[in-house]
Amino acid sequence: MNRLLQRYFGFRFLGPYAPLASLFVMGLLVLSISRVALVAWHFERVGAVDGFGFVLLQGVRADIIILSFILFFPTLLAPLFSLTNVTKRYWEPLLAVWLSAMLLLLIFMELSTPSFINEYDTRPDRIFVEYLKYPAEVFSTLFKAYTLQLIITAVVMFFAVRVTWRHFAGFIGAPSGMKRVHALLLLPVLIILLIVGGRSSLQHRPANPSLFAFSTDNLVNKLPLSSTYSVLFAIYNLKHEQSSSEVYGEMDPTEVVERVRNTMAVDADSFVDNKMPTLHRQVATVKRERPLNLVIVLEESLGAGFVESLGGIPVTPNLERLSKEGLWFKRMYATGTRSVRGIESVLTGFAPTPARSVVKLEGSQRNFFTIADLLGERGYHTEFIYGGESHFDNMRGFFLGNGFQSIVDQRDYPNPKFVSSWGASDEDLFDKALERFDQLHLEDAPFFSLIFTSSNHSPFEVPENTIELYDEGKNTVNNAVKYADYALGRFFDAVKEKSYYSDTIFLIVADHDTRAHGASLIPINKFQIPALIIAPGVEPSEYEAIASQLDLPPTILSLMGIDSIHPMIGHDLTIDNPKHGRALMQFQSTFGYMRDDQVAIFQPEKAPQQFSYSIEDHSLSPVSEPNSELIANGLANSLLPPKLYREKLYQTHKE
């Protein structure tokens, strides 16, 4: 094999540039083969947007960009270190290691891509990097959910390491086919070519991923890129997180604040501090003689597609039963596709951005508004209850720094009934919650508990003899959802027997849906989630208008009878004002602002687009005459959150 590679990829006539040219050609070949395979896999989606030529040809352009960056410094140094035998002795082995590592990186990232696409419907991006921080949880999930893919990747990488090293090591000590003076004369030409290749544009700004977005299918837009390019660009963008939404456009800061305030459905005289744009006084629509306990059940990956009354399959009978006992939202939309995004919305009311959730950002680990902090100031005991490791996604640090007084996680379950890759089962979780509620009730102080489930998470492990399986295979998402619903129903059957049930308000809501796949810029149907509020004095009813996760915390405060001053932009849905219904959605780097059936969509470095959304077939249709007000309001709502974060204007107000 090595002789074959040296024969066709040796480039001996290029002297010190020979191994570099070899990597360039082999890299193009590897990435092109991978791209052709991905296009074949998603043949219908690529064909639906007439994208075969664009994806394959522009893919070569994107590959030249990443290869130019990889080769720039080695090319600059190669002829210089090849001038003497002493420097060559050290340079050539070092270069062989670098080139081998880079080619193996390209191969590994492409091998990882199919599994990532299965999970997130896009090439590896920032999420890929973030999950590297949690090797135990992630590897356990991968091993159980993608066993075959892991084995194939391991086998291919084993042979790739052997072949790649032998190939590039073959250049060590090999006679040069180019005179040194010629190598030095060729250097400026190669450097210019690599700069041009890396920029891939003669415009003021170099090429970036938005240049390769040509359709309304987000996955197809990512196929021209290599996964290595996609991940490295995501890492590069981390330094721009504080101004992340500015990639969508510009607007005068005063207009941004004015427009966001106008879309908040709040009286102008309710705002209390011009220095803090969204800080306002909220007067509860319900009056209570004594404060209610608050329990939020945040259900992992529970989309509307699993709820029959919302157009899904019948795997949540207990949630359906409970929906007849409270305020049931028919068109509730999540703000994102990650758990931390759901936590961000439900706990802080902070709007989504292309940056990481504030749960993870450094500048929000202290003095960032949460309803836990607000309730703690009013004498509530605040607690987070989880079945897994609370350090995951930085939840523990964020919670303890922003109002939670105690945390229950996996270490607090001495004898769990069932433990999956993500910790104690939902049955164990709810049993622990009941145990904690009993104890807190005895202390005769109101409490707020955030319960975060995890059983409906890949690899979807279900305990034996708990449910009648919906699918034939045991560990499937539908069975996991049905088990999670079983645990939820079991919990409510038990909690209704408690004396504190009549003094407690319950919010059941999903953090997000499962895998957000689709051929739209934003698969809006995968953002629709169930949400239910059960509380004393709240008559069973259905809320028909569009609502967002952002609306839940202010609504909860109103139903609890708590007057407050807070910075949340969500609507108090107890005020019958459906004309203000809207939803904000962040899908990877794309932002959506939906009002009624109209959706303004913003992509980095591209003009905004407007679509009509059909809830019947979940399609997005371009409109002939975009609504400038809708687009301007959407842009304002995307621009303000980074400013609030950056300037520390989203803080708890101490009364």
Q: Answer yes or no: are the C-beta atoms of 424 and 409 closer than 8 Å.
A: no
Tens-digit pLDDT profile for residues 567-603: 999 999 998 665 668 999 999 889 999 998 999 999 9
Q: Which residue has the higher pLDDT, 340 or 129?
A: 340
Closest-CA residue to 468 (of 307, 302, 317): 317
If asked whether residues 486 and 515 sit together in one domain, one would say: yes
Helix (H, G, I), strand (E, B) or coil at 383: strand
Helix (H, G, I), strand (E, B) or coil at 220: helix
DSSP β-bridge partners for residue 583: 594
Distance CA 493, CA 496 (A): 6
If asked whether residues 139 and 236 sit together in one domain, one would say: yes
If asked whether residues 448 and 584 sit together in one domain, one would say: yes
Q: Which of 222, 243, 264 is the last residue of a domain?
A: 243
Predicted pLDDT at 504: 96
In a domain, 651, yes or no: no
Distance CA 15, CA 122 (A): 40
**pLDDT band, very low/low/confident/very high, at 6 (cuts 50, 70, 90):** low
What value, to the nearest 5°, has the Cα angle with vertex 116 and ends 110 and 121?
115
Predicted pLDDT at 374: 96
- Other residues' Cβ atoms within 10 Å of the Cβ of residue 258: 13
If asked whether residues 556 and 414 sit together in one domain, one would say: yes
Please compute, for residue 148, the number of CA atoms within 13 A of its CA located in the half-sphere on the CB side: 1
Predicted pLDDT at 570: 94
Tens-digit pLDDT profile for residues 104-150: 999 999 999 998 888 788 898 877 777 777 666 667 776 677 788 88
DSSP H or E run through 136:
helix 135-145
DSSP 174: P
Tens-digit pLDDT profile for residues 278-293: 999 999 999 998 889 9
**With 80 as the cut, is the pLDDT of residue 205 above it?**
no
Distance CA 274, CA 255 (A): 14
In a domain, 314, yes or no: yes
If asked whether residues 509 and 578 sit together in one domain, one would say: yes
If asked whether residues 311 and 357 sit together in one domain, one would say: yes
Tens-digit pLDDT profile for residues 15-48: 888 899 999 999 999 999 999 999 999 999 999 8
Q: Give the CATH number, domain containing residue 359.
A: 3.40.720.10
* Backbone dihedral region for residue 206 (phi beyond 0: left; psi -120 to 50: alpha; all else: beta): beta
If asked whether residues 451 and 390 sit together in one domain, one would say: yes
In a domain, 248, yes or no: no
Tens-digit pLDDT profile for residues 143-164: 677 788 888 989 999 999 999 9
Q: Give the distance from CA 626 to its chain's centroid.
A: 28
**pLDDT band, very low/low/confident/very high, at 314 (cuts 50, 70, 90):** very high
Predicted pLDDT at 508: 98
Distance CA 304, CA 311 (A): 7
pLDDT above 70: percentage of residues in the chain? 94
**With 90 as the cut, is the pLDDT of residue 241 above it?**
no
**pLDDT band, very low/low/confident/very high, at 655 (cuts 50, 70, 90):** very low
Closest-CA residue to 323 (of 562, 451, 487, 488): 488
Distance CA 47, CA 519 (A): 11
If asked whether residues 165 and 298 sit together in one domain, one would say: no
In a domain, 362, yes or no: yes
- What's the full length of the chain, in residues? 655
Number of structural domains in the chain = 2
Distance CA 143, CA 421 (A): 10
DSSP 129: H
If asked whether residues 317 and 417 sit together in one domain, one would say: yes
Question: What does residue 69 show for φ and ψ, rounded to 5 degrees?
Answer: -65, -40
Question: What does residue 154 show for φ and ψ, rounded to 5 degrees?
Answer: -65, -45
In a domain, 204, yes or no: yes
- The pairing of strands 528-529 and 293-299 is unpaired
Token pair 């220095």: residue: 275
Predicted pLDDT at 290: 86
Tens-digit pLDDT profile for residues 492-510: 999 999 999 999 999 999 9
* Backbone dihedral region for residue 312 (phi beyond 0: left; psi -120 to 50: alpha; all else: beta): beta
Please compute, for residue 399, the number of CA atoms within 13 A of its CA located in the half-sphere on the CB side: 27
Distance CA 325, CA 113 (A): 44
Average pLDDT over residues 463-476: 88
In a domain, 329, yes or no: yes
Distance CA 104, CA 112 (A): 12
**pLDDT band, very low/low/confident/very high, at 239 (cuts 50, 70, 90):** low
- The pairing of strands 327-333 and 504-510 is unpaired
**With 70 as the cut, is the pLDDT of residue 240 above it?**
no
Q: What are the helix (H) ranges across 474-539?
A: 477-495
- The mean pLDDT value of the chain amounts to 89
Q: Answer yes or no: are the C-beta atoms of 230 and 589 closer than 8 Å.
A: no
In Å, what is the CA distance from 290 to each residue of 118, 177, 371, 568?
A: 49, 88, 18, 24
Q: Which residue has the higher pLDDT, 34 or 618?
A: 34
If asked whether residues 173 and 262 sit together in one domain, one would say: no
Average pLDDT over residues 380-390: 93
In a domain, 652, yes or no: no
**pLDDT band, very low/low/confident/very high, at 516 (cuts 50, 70, 90):** confident
199, burial (CB in 10 Å: exposed 0-12, middle 13-18, buried 19+)? middle
If asked whether residues 583 and 616 sit together in one domain, one would say: yes
Q: Which of 243, 270, 292 is the last residue of a domain?
A: 243
If asked whether residues 239 and 285 sit together in one domain, one would say: no
Q: Which of 191, 222, 243 is the last residue of a domain?
A: 243
79 upstream amide cis, omega within 30 of 0: no
Distance CA 454, CA 420 (A): 9
Provide the domain limits for residue 368: 253-646
